[in-house]
Structure 1
Amino acid sequence: MNERAIHNHSLPLVLLGGTLCNGRLWLPMLETLNASHVISITLEGADSTESFAQQLLSTLPPRFCVVGFSLGAMVALQMLADAPQRIAGMALLSVNPLADDPNNAPSRREAVKEARRQGLGTWLTATMWPRYVAPAHLEREVLHRTLVQMAEESGVETFAKQTEVAISRQDKRAALATFTAPTLIINGAHDPICTPHHHQLAAEAAACAQQITFSDCGHFLPLEAPERLASSLRNWLKEIIT
């Protein structure tokens, strides 16, 4: 049965995808969410959270709700630090609120070189696919094809810039500590990239946040459990607009 529409015309729902993602990330979830005003943004063209935040804040409506996934969650936190008055509610999915370990930079940049050499689809399948989803979802061919398709559509140059965003990000927990609007933090229990510990740190830092763990999901919970995610986001969005 279709959910009743959520009329959020006055507070658009802004969706920020992650590394090597585009609008395909959200399509299964949006089928169930049924919100009236959604803005889906692919993160490309900038190489820092600060640049992305400035770019987005200059074009988005005066007030909005934001859902950030992985790299998109990092950018959402930067937007929160820069303009908290613009954000009516925040949902962070598969988030790491900490600054990146400087020791990660060489391996991150080497991954870009390998993706360029092998091709994004081949590299992702061999290197990231086992880390992207829960073990129980490794046989889901449609899910795998969607991730490969998004990566190939994004391209290596976008991957290189997104990698620099991840490397240069800063700890944004202080922004969460002063934000009192509805905040939702969701993670997958089988995520080795943005771990349960990272989400616990985010939840502990937040002034008021609901934390939810999807026990059978990994990093890519928008595609691993889209209907469940839609249900959680509907409840959060209704809290904001009522």
Structure 2
Amino acid sequence: MAEPVFKRILLKLSGESLMGSRDYGTDPERLRAVATSIKAIHDRGVEIAIVVGAGNIYRGMKGAAAGMDRATADYMGMLATVLNALPLQDALETQGVHTRVQSAIKVEEVAEPYIRRRAMRHLEKGRVVIFAAGTGNPFFTTDTAAALRAVEIHAEAILMAKNGVEGVYTADPREDPEAMLIPEITHMEALQRGLRVMDATALTLCMENRLPLHVFNMDDEQNIERIVSGERVGTLVKAEAS
């Protein structure tokens, strides 16, 4: 097997990638499969940080959040990411991978507070670090949290796992049957074309820090290991040439 091309990565998992065939919530089998794929690259010496979304939980709360103050709804979403981080931590530790959850909102009984230097020390010691509660601020998505944490910890790339799509397309493949997969694009081109890579704030942060994104389908758990081995999978979003 090829040597890993990255020393440290940040994996952005959508909440939907933990949902399996359920309408919402977390599927235990799916969780184990995701943990197994993370363990495979961890065992190869790659330092792994994870930001997890909450679409699988928040989908069930949309009715309750309708008409609610935006900040309040966003705080609910942040807490939902903690509910995803804890079972993911448990699934990883069941497979022998030492894992720490750091939350941007204080929930000290179940997670450490987010401290950048402590997170980096955990990574250096071979622990997987899961960042929960987004940035800790309303009006910012978990995409922005992923970009921010990746820059803070000096990750070499963001691996952005999608649910049911192979990467970045010219249009939404669920709505446009003629949408085509884009194998490679720059951050600026993605912004100018309004493509659904991640939100504009997060994509701009990646562009300013020349941080590459690998957007791929999480339905095939082997894709993470392929990307880490240097194979081209899904879409690469890269900085413009200097």
Q: Is TM > 0.5 for Structure 1 vs Structure 2? A: no
**TM-score normalised to the size of structure 1?**
0.33
If each structure's helix is expressed as a fraction of its own residues, which one has the higher value? 1
Higher strand share: 2
Normalising by structure 2, we get a TM-score of 0.33
